[in-house]
Structure 1
Amino acid sequence: MGDADQAVLPALAALHGAPTPAFRGSTTQYFDGQIAANNPYPKPWKERARRALAGWDGAPWYPEKAVIWLANGAIRAMNPAHILVECLTNRDWGRGLDRGLLDEASYRRAADTLHAEGFGLCLRWARQTSISDFMQVVIDHIGAAQYTDRSTGRSTLRLLRDDYRVEDLPVFDYESGLLAIEEDEGGAQDGAVNQVIVTWYDPIKDEERQIRVQDLAGIQATGGVASTTTEYRGLPTAELAARVGTRDLSIACSALKRFKVRLDRRGGVLAPGSVFCIRDPFREIGTLVLRAGTFDDGRLAEGAILVSAVQDVFGLPATSYLQPQPPVWTPPDRNPQPAPTRRLFEAGYRDLATTLDPAALAALPADAGLVLAVGEQPGGLALNYILTTRVGGGAYSEAGTGDWCPTALLAGALSATTTAVQLAAGRALDQVAVGTAAWVEDELVRVVAIDPQAQTATLARGCADTVPVPHATGARIWFYDDFAANDPNDYSVGETVQAKLLTRTSSAQLDPALAPVDTIKLAQRQVRPYPPGDLKLNGLRYPASIDGDLALSWAHRDRRLQADQLVDHGQGSIGLEAGTAYVVRLSDAIAGQALDSPAALTGNNYASPLRGAYRVRAEIGTTRDGLTSWQKASHTFDFKNGLLRTEVGDDLVAEAGDFILMD
């Protein structure tokens, strides 16, 4: 570089003649000698130029740290902080700023750090590149932020380094300046870069070279290499290129989150490259270390500053998130599970009359029986079930598909006359329709009313071929109408049918080996005569005791006339099916012996001649063509008749304690 007082070189003056310039302030190359032999085409000329202290506009700035020796003294690189200072202050080709407009302390700190790191650059600036672009290249090399400080108005340089303590950083939350988090963009891990290729320039060999830096764990996790190439032509050594590549790879692998945070004017202490913390309990952020990027000061009246920031890679170990409350929702189990409760029952005449036309019903053999099945839904994702059946030791075959049956438990005990019922543990009660049939153990009832929310119901008792009986607390009720799976196979009387309910979900079906086995023995239920209805003793329904002569009465029932109607026990007479007779039996409920068994009756009443004092069980069934009713109307009560009594009505007893009968 020609000095300001450089004289004319005599050799050039002799070559060019007068006048010859002194070439002050410029670099001039002069050669005098032989350049080729036996070849009219000389090779291209190359030259290596370097400067660190020469060519400054005035005295060099901070000359002690301007030069950084690399490669064991083979490379004389320039401190990047000095490059930036000269670009800002040179009045010939730079921005021409006065050095007083620089925050010299910040540039000195950066120069000291870069010198200690051995971070020297060998860069050439071409005039077709703007000074701003050239300075940005330097900043990208060293990882820094250069900005005009808003409080001093001076140009400031800040290196992005792990040079802070988290506990010393300013913290912004909703009580200390944080107004809102307006954007929260998470860094995606899928497809993350796991290899960085750095292109650098070797000034000794005068060639472009590359070095690869890899995240071996990331490569193994993804099963492949996701690579990116970055160009840092100012890096003069492989060691420095590896360090910069490691820096870029750590950022690329960290999936850093980006934020836009709105702060009040207390955020004015921040500057580009500043490190700060935010806390937001609503986003479950305990402490998050961010590096400030750009600023939008907004309008003065708004009193807010919008800061674009990125999660700082050096602050990742200090990042903490608030422990969220464990969710109360448990993901549903998609694996098919066995139905927790199930029931098989033989179809009665009423069940067949609801599904078969009259001709098919009349053609059904008397010894044929059909099986129905119901099951409770095991989980919310269980769609329905496949009914499989077999007889004997054969293989199970698919018999039909069933929907899960609404069901519940009795919250209290029922007597034979109870109609208002409190339910518990109800399932799908909102699907139950008024007027449909339900099973309470072995008693068929009709739903008169139901409230799914309150889990209450009103029932008509002892319908079709059943009679009302007491039920204990916890007895299960099945609202099976429209929800029973029908096995279309006809089975013979006495056969035992085994069944499995195979739960189906949207993706699988229950393994048959995991399904419980339910069994039922066929008993010609559909062809048996109905038991009598409306049993009364001396005109009373289910009295606790009878004192005097015993008169029994009942109502006729006819399965063919009733067909698909759910006639309950308390209704009046319907028919009497042809060939049907009643069998009355009065027995001692304690000793078990028969007390009165008249011949079969066709009427609907009977006056018993029974005398004495007993705990009596009265049973009235029906018979037709050698078949008896599936159930019998019955009641147990205390009975006294024909006893000798005192004038005041007390019963007389013998010395042995037996009642004395009148002759």
Structure 2
Amino acid sequence: MGGSKKQTIGYHYKWLLHFGWCRGVIDALLELRGGDAPFFQGRLTSSQRITINKPDLWGGEKGEGGITGDWDILFGEPTQAPNDYLTSVLGAQQSGHRGKFTTVARGGRFGAFTPSPKTVSAKVERILTDWQDDTVWYPEKAVIALGASGATQSLGVLSINANDAAATDVNGHTYGPFAADDVIEIEFADGLPYTAWSRWPADDSPGTGGLPWFCRFEVTDDTGATTDYLSTSYATSAEAFAAAKASSPITLSGSTSYTIWLHDDILENRGGVSFYLSRKPGLRAMNPAHVLYESITRDEMQGEPAGLINDTSFRAAADQLYSEGFGICTTYDSESETPEQFQQRICNLIAGNLTQSRTDGLYYLDLIRAVSDPSALPIITEDDVKTFKQTPWVGSEAVNLIQVEWFDPQAKQVRTTQPVYSAAGIQDVGSPNSDVRTYHEVPVGSLATRLAARELAAASSPLSKIDLTLLPKWRTLRAGTNVRLQLPSEGIADIVLVLGEVAQGTLKDGSIAASAVQNVFSFPDTVFIQQQLGGWVDPAQPVTAPPSQLAFEAPYIELVAALSNADLAALHADAGYLGLLATRPTIGLNYEVDTAAAAEAYQAYGIGDWTASAVINEAAGPIDTSFTFTSATDIDRLVVGGWAIWGDEIVRIDAVDTTAGTLSLGRGCADTVPTSHAAASSLVFAGEWVTGDQREYVGGDVVRAKLLTRSASDVLDISSATELSVTMNDRQVRPYAPGLLRFDDASTTGQAYPAAMVGAITTHWAHRDRLTQADQLLDESAASTGPEAGTTYTVRYYQPPGTLVHTESALTGTAATAYTFAADGVAQISVEANRDGYASWQSASHTFSYTASAGVRVTEAGNRRITEAGAVRTLETP
């Protein structure tokens, strides 16, 4: 067993960090990120101290460290005292920082190896706090829950209770905490993994003649009301499972308790299916009407008294925006824009106008929307118009394709919708005339896509601009409002116009100048376009263990590939190395290798990368080579000519077609022999993906290993990892088992793994040579190579299997003397290679049905079958 001295390779850093984020008090702190990796996620609503334990946030001691220690979250309340940590370090002359939201890192670790601290960012929410005079206007419609945004997080579940707290499912997985406005969805597993409650028979699975299935899930709240979200029959393909999702998500409301019941009713009770509960973090946004209201009344912005706002107008706009789900996330920075510019930015976004009436002096908010009751609109007629001008619409200049650029606060990423286009408009012009509208206040893709549809409707419609000069009695008109125009002299019988600019008259001439277009504006509830998902995956999702893990003593073929010629020549005969493989879980960049031998404590010794795997559909005999596969992961990492592990057998990858799902294998390679495999068995690819701890062991050492999944900001807790164990047994020095195992009996010569044999049996084989073969993967059918100097063979005969009846040893050739078993029955023959006191890692072996005479078959118990007339009966070959 080897080891190494510890040495200093770098330093951790401890900083006094005081971050000033924004004006306080805020509603909640939602997230803190360091170097764009989340180290806190949740919902804090008051000043408090939290403990951060993310030592591996930036790679730990193999990267750039992480963050540990206490942080003070300071909301800036009116009674907030100076921070005790800042006072103790910097002196007593400290401000209480009231009215500001700040955070203080209390000297814990922050990074490693570099003296330059990473950038820290915060995600906060302020909707209902810190209003002028602490009075929130119309709080009932201030918060707009936009539901899900970002990546999902899934776990298997049958029933779960969500009540603002963590919940545990039937498999012992903890999920949560849940909160109001969280959105959860029910999904079906992609495929049919076997679990404690998923027992679909392998011979009757979907897609291979399986039966149709029927499934539903119900949600019951604490009032006892039950909603059935899915109740229909689906086809039997695995794709149907993945496609069968809930018709609508469930949004958790307040402190209501929900129980989610998943039911499966398979015809003829053919087992179960796997479900997933997906939770997406809810996003709370602010009603734009409230944003504009506050921009008028805040002392720091326009500073007008609330009495100057027409409450009816603003409430109507707030109601409309709330019903549309039009929530926004934005900031105001006095150094980059004036209050008026800020207000215009919001009005452009919501298609509205903020104006101050010349008649009563009040502020009005008017939304440009479709008119539900034209009969209630004021009518402008011939008698009201002094001048009229119409500017025709130019079709060649019309925009017929629009995208909206928006900002995803969950991913902290600018994104763009898929194009929304007018096919007729493109056909009329002959080519796309595109435009991109920038609305970074929009926080979700669904809203951005609806905005794109709204913008396209306005930009592609054949609308003429109309300029009017009206009599002074129309001085009450406001931009953004609607009127009807009846002007037969200009060919206009009756149309609805939305007013743009409205200019008041002068003292000498009280005429009103107004510009308008026909009102075709509307804001769609739904746009039938698939919003493309972003590539961002929330790095804060908890990591899970690799679904498939293998630990083994590295074979000679792996050492040949991993060691230099000099190191290989110097390798002691009893030296052994650990080999490890793991397949990719849902979340995880790679995995940390922690090992321990004897009474050692676990230590980290390296990083491993995920290997590829697949499930072989068919049952396989020892010499079968062509197969189909499913459930492949990372199949692009497969290397033709490389090796894989199938049970205890090493196989060679000869060909693979990922589209057709087929592959060809060379069987019984390196120091292994071909064996039979059941249907739906797993194949794990090795080759360059084998990792280990780079430590040298000797025969008899017991090595324990744990593979800890790593993400950008998390490492699987070692207590949650599966412990793997390997006992070293001098594998790399042992001679290779023989190949090309064949048999001659009384009726046939050269049989490869026959089901039955008769009379005297001659066993023969081909040489294999560990040193000559080196990194070459000879399969079981290859001709002789070698043998390695000093190799002999031992042939053992068993009847029944496990009971030794005859042995031939010290054979140097490739055949044994013919042997006749003493009785009929099931028998077994094995051939083992020997050299320098070492036996081969595996023995070439075959079990078969034996009879002494041709034409006679026996049962497994060795009994002959005869007819009632006394004739010997030939049975089917087992």
Q: Deviations over 1:411-446 (max 9, x none)?
A: 111111110111111112222222111111110111
Q: Percent identity?
A: 32
Larger radius of gyration: 1
Shift of 1:459: 0.7
Q: Which residue number corresponds to residue 712 of structure 2?
A: 506
Q: Does 1:359 align with 2:569?
A: no
May I ask how many residue pairs the two structures share in their alignment?
418
Q: Deviations over 1:168-210 (max 9, x none)?
A: xxxxxxxxxxxxxxxxxx999599725267999xxxxxxxx98
Choose the corresponding residue for 1:340, options 547, 558, 562. Answer: 547
Shift of 1:633: 0.4
Note the 1:138-287 alignment, pairs <5 A: 193=295, 195=297, 247=363, 264=462, 273=479, 275-276=481-482
* Aligned mates of 1:463, 1:190 — CA distance in 2: 74
Amino acid aligned to 1:193 = S
Confirm or deny: 8 A CA contact 1:468 1:569 kept in the other structure.
Answer: yes
Q: Which residue number corresponds to residue 73 of structure 1?
A: none
Amino acid aligned to 1:446 = R
Choose the corresponding residue for 1:473, options 663, 679, 682. Answer: 679
CA 214–540 in structure 1, closer or farther in 2 if over 3 Å, else same: farther
Confirm or deny: 8 A CA contact 2:295 2:301 kept in the other structure.
Answer: no
Q: Which residue number corresponds to residue 798 of structure 2?
A: 587
Shift of 1:487: 1.9
Q: Deviations over 1:56-78 (max 9, x none)?
A: xxxxxxxxxxxxxxxxxxxxxxx
Shift of 1:518: 2.0
Q: Does 1:372 align with 2:579?
A: yes
Q: Secondary structure at the match of 1:417?
A: coil
Q: Does 1:427 align with 2:633?
A: yes
Q: Secondary structure at the match of 2:654?
A: strand
Q: Secondary structure at the match of 1:598?
A: strand
Amino acid aligned to 1:368 = A
Choose the corresponding residue for 2:831, options 603, 620, 624. Answer: 620
Could you tell me which runs of 5 or more consecutive residues in structure 1 were left unpaired when the two chains were aligned. 1-185, 201-208, 231-239, 278-288, 296-304, 312-317, 646-650
CA 261–556 in structure 1, closer or farther in 2 if over 3 Å, else same: closer
CA 503–610 in structure 1, closer or farther in 2 if over 3 Å, else same: same
Q: Secondary structure at the match of 1:415?
A: coil
Q: Does 1:386 align with 2:592?
A: yes
* Aligned mates of 2:706, 2:497 — CA distance in 1: 62
Q: Deviations over 1:149-178 (max 9, x none)?
A: xxxxxxxxxxxxxxxxxxxxxxxxxxxxxx
Confirm or deny: 8 A CA contact 1:261 1:306 kept in the other structure.
Answer: no
Q: Which residue number corresponds to residue 738 of structure 2?
A: 532
Confirm or deny: 8 A CA contact 2:549 2:582 kept in the other structure.
Answer: yes
Shift of 1:222: 9.6
Q: Secondary structure at the match of 1:398?
A: strand
Q: CA RMSD in A?
A: 4.8
Confirm or deny: 8 A CA contact 2:498 2:517 kept in the other structure.
Answer: no
Choose the corresponding residue for 2:851, options 640, 644, 647. Answer: 640
Shift of 1:224: 10
For normalisation by structure 1, the TM-score amounts to 0.54
* Aligned mates of 2:641, 2:301 — CA distance in 1: 84
Confirm or deny: 8 A CA contact 1:442 1:466 kept in the other structure.
Answer: yes
* Aligned mates of 1:212, 1:641 — CA distance in 2: 108
Structure 1: which 4+ aligned runs deviate by more than 4 Å? 186-192, 196-200, 209-215, 221-230, 243-246, 248-251, 255-274, 308-311, 323-331, 642-645
Q: Deviations over 1:550-599 (max 9, x none)?
A: 11101111111111111111111111222222111111136x42232123
* Aligned mates of 1:593, 1:534 — CA distance in 2: 25
* Aligned mates of 2:734, 2:308 — CA distance in 1: 85
Q: Does 1:604 align with 2:814?
A: yes
Shift of 1:378: 1.4
* Aligned mates of 1:329, 1:416 — CA distance in 2: 46
Shift of 1:263: 5.0
Q: Which residue number corresponds to residue 631 of structure 1?
A: 842
Shift of 1:384: 1.9
* Aligned mates of 2:849, 2:830 — CA distance in 1: 15
Q: Which residue number corresponds to residue 352 of structure 2?
A: none
CA 565–197 in structure 1, closer or farther in 2 if over 3 Å, else same: closer
Confirm or deny: 8 A CA contact 2:704 2:723 kept in the other structure.
Answer: yes
Q: Does 1:321 align with 2:532?
A: no
Confirm or deny: 8 A CA contact 2:560 2:774 kept in the other structure.
Answer: yes
Note the 1:95-110 alignment, pairs <5 A: none
Q: Secondary structure at the match of 2:797?
A: strand
Shift of 1:625: 2.6
CA 293–422 in structure 1, closer or farther in 2 if over 3 Å, else same: same
Shift of 1:534: 0.5
Shift of 1:245: 7.6
Confirm or deny: 8 A CA contact 2:644 2:650 kept in the other structure.
Answer: yes
Q: Which residue number corresponds to residue 459 of structure 1?
A: 665
Confirm or deny: 8 A CA contact 1:196 1:214 kept in the other structure.
Answer: no
* Aligned mates of 2:300, 2:663 — CA distance in 1: 79
Q: Which residue number corresponds to residue 180 of structure 2?
A: none
* Aligned mates of 1:402, 1:410 — CA distance in 2: 25
Confirm or deny: 8 A CA contact 1:198 1:211 kept in the other structure.
Answer: no
For normalisation by structure 2, the TM-score amounts to 0.42
Confirm or deny: 8 A CA contact 2:614 2:682 kept in the other structure.
Answer: yes
Q: Does 1:443 align with 2:443?
A: no
Q: Which residue number corresponds to residue 89 of structure 2?
A: none
Choose the corresponding residue for 1:519, options 712, 722, 725. Answer: 725
Shift of 1:505: 2.7
Q: Deviations over 1:12-46 (max 9, x none)?
A: xxxxxxxxxxxxxxxxxxxxxxxxxxxxxxxxxxx
Confirm or deny: 8 A CA contact 1:198 1:245 kept in the other structure.
Answer: no
* Aligned mates of 1:214, 1:506 — CA distance in 2: 52
CA 652–229 in structure 1, closer or farther in 2 if over 3 Å, else same: closer
* Aligned mates of 2:579, 2:725 — CA distance in 1: 11
Q: Which residue number corresponds to residue 97 of structure 1?
A: none
Could you tell me which runs of 5 or more consecutive residues in structure 2 were left unpaired when the two chains were aligned. 1-287, 310-317, 319-328, 342-355, 368-440, 443-450, 469-476, 484-495, 503-514, 745-749, 857-863, 873-878
Shift of 1:274: 6.7
Q: Secondary structure at the match of 2:694?
A: strand
CA 229–402 in structure 1, closer or farther in 2 if over 3 Å, else same: closer
Confirm or deny: 8 A CA contact 1:213 1:249 kept in the other structure.
Answer: no
Amino acid aligned to 1:372 = G
Shift of 1:319: 7.2
CA 492–325 in structure 1, closer or farther in 2 if over 3 Å, else same: same
* Aligned mates of 1:344, 1:616 — CA distance in 2: 33
* Aligned mates of 1:275, 1:194 — CA distance in 2: 20
Q: Secondary structure at the match of 2:363?
A: helix
Q: Does 1:541 align with 2:731?
A: no
Q: Which residue number corresponds to residue 9 of structure 1?
A: none
Note the 1:293-332 alignment, pairs <5 A: 293-294=500-501, 307=517, 321-322=525-526, 329=533, 332=537
CA 346–225 in structure 1, closer or farther in 2 if over 3 Å, else same: closer
Shift of 1:509: 3.1
Q: Secondary structure at the match of 1:630?
A: coil
Q: Secondary structure at the match of 1:572?
A: coil
Amino acid aligned to 1:490 = E
Confirm or deny: 8 A CA contact 1:550 1:608 kept in the other structure.
Answer: yes
Q: Secondary structure at the match of 1:485?
A: coil
Amino acid aligned to 1:549 = A
Confirm or deny: 8 A CA contact 1:407 1:428 kept in the other structure.
Answer: yes
Shift of 1:223: 11
Shift of 1:351: 0.9
